[in-house]
Amino acid sequence: MQILKSIIIASLVSCFVACSNKSENFSARDKASALNEGVGGGGMELEATTVELTAPPVEKSVAEGPKNITERKLVKNGDISFEVKNIRDTRAFLQKIISKHKGYISNEKIEDYRINPTEILTIRMPNSNFDNIINNIGLQVGEFDSKRIDIEDVTADFVDIDARLKNKKQLEGKYQELLAKANNMTDILKIEKEISLIREDIESTEGRLRYLNNQVGYSTLIITYYEKRATAGFHFGGKMVDALSNGGMGFLWFLIGMTQLWPMWLLGGLIWYVIYKIVKHRKNQKLQQKSIQ
């Protein structure tokens, strides 16, 4: 009898535990189903459709970025300066070298001094041709007065920006999925606002990535070259020619300045004419009075 009671009690306990597990499993499945139906508009009222606007999870592999970097991203910049015998011939030579290596002049400055006329060129060329241009110029001029080359490794920045861009695009995709499921106008507006902010961030990041790609793809070189001219001796003849030229130019500027004062000349002429008439009138009166006497 005691054994039968024990068997009955054990059976009841097992049945209770099984029923409890079933109810818990059913409750979890029911909650998940209710959430999906609420977002998709299946079987719940619109008031129950509340979308959580916390950032959806991003896959870890994307956030970490590429693990194996096969190519270093380097930015090369530099400047060189040197003396030349003829500044015009040097300019023609540099243009040939720049065109040969698929570069272009992005800025130029000319300082035309009498003692040492100087030209400063800022050129951009493919990164792979940077060293070739400097070597070709060095072979022509022989020796540089100064030479500076900076190489900056931006690989880490490039990988970081690229990984963040992928994360933001993935996050945008997650919000697009939420937007497709939402049917509550409040939630739709909130999700669209989040998508707009993410899109602005994506465009800003893409701009930064394009800038880095441009800096990596093209290098910048500033070339300064000048021509020294002899200054020894007095050179009387040359100075006389300069004096005559400067004097003639000064006289022309004097005439221009006097012409600009034409209102003053007109006013002075009118004043002189009035004074002349007054004086002449008084003289005529005196002559008439003498003749009467």
Q: Is 102 helix (H, G, I), strand (E, B) or coil?
A: coil
Tens digits of residue pLDDT in 117-154: 899 999 999 988 999 999 999 998 888 999 999 988 88
pLDDT of residue 228: 81
Which residues form the domain of 89? 50-230
The verdict on 118 and 40 lying in the same domain is no
Hey, what amino acid is at 12? L
pLDDT of residue 70: 52
Q: What is the average pLDDT across 79-88? A: 90
Is 28 a residue whose pLDDT tops 60?
no
Q: Which residues contact 87 (CB under 8 A, 6 or more apart)?
A: 117, 119, 225, 226, 227
Sheet holding 104-111, edge to edge: 104-111, 118-126, 218-226, 74-83, 146-153
Tokens of 71: 């190519």
Which of 210, 230, 250 terminates a domain? The answer is 230
* 59-81 as b/e: b if 16+ CB within 10 A: eeeeeebeeeeeeebebbebbbb
The verdict on 72 and 113 lying in the same domain is yes
Hey, what amino acid is at 39? V
The verdict on 114 and 44 lying in the same domain is no
The verdict on 75 and 61 lying in the same domain is yes
The verdict on 30 and 88 lying in the same domain is no
Tokens of 278: 């007054």
217: in domain: yes
The verdict on 158 and 38 lying in the same domain is no
pTM: 0.47
Tens digits of residue pLDDT in 171-222: 989 988 888 888 888 888 998 899 899 999 999 989 988 888 888 888 999 9
Which of 174, 197, 230 terminates a domain? The answer is 230
Q: Is 234 helix (H, G, I), strand (E, B) or coil?
A: coil
pLDDT of residue 13: 45
Average confidence score pLDDT of the chain: 75
Q: Is 109 helix (H, G, I), strand (E, B) or coil?
A: strand
Taking residue 139's Cβ as centre, other Cβ atoms within 10 Å add up to 8
pLDDT of residue 11: 53
Which of 208, 230, 252 terminates a domain? The answer is 230
218: in domain: yes
Report whether 116 contacts 229 (CB < 8 A): yes
The verdict on 66 and 106 lying in the same domain is yes
The verdict on 29 and 139 lying in the same domain is no
Q: DSSP secondary structure string, 22-91? A: HHHHHHHHHHHHHHHHHHHTSSS-GGG-----SPPP--HHHHH--S---S--EEEEEEEEEE-S-HHHHH
10: in domain: yes
In total, how many domains does the chain have? 2
Q: CA 228, CA 10: separation in Å to the nearest integer?
A: 111
Is 54 a residue whose pLDDT tops 70?
no
Q: CA 218, CA 130: separation in Å to the nearest integer?
A: 9
The verdict on 36 and 66 lying in the same domain is no
Q: Which of 24, 51, 58 is nearest to 35 (CA)?
A: 51
239: in domain: no
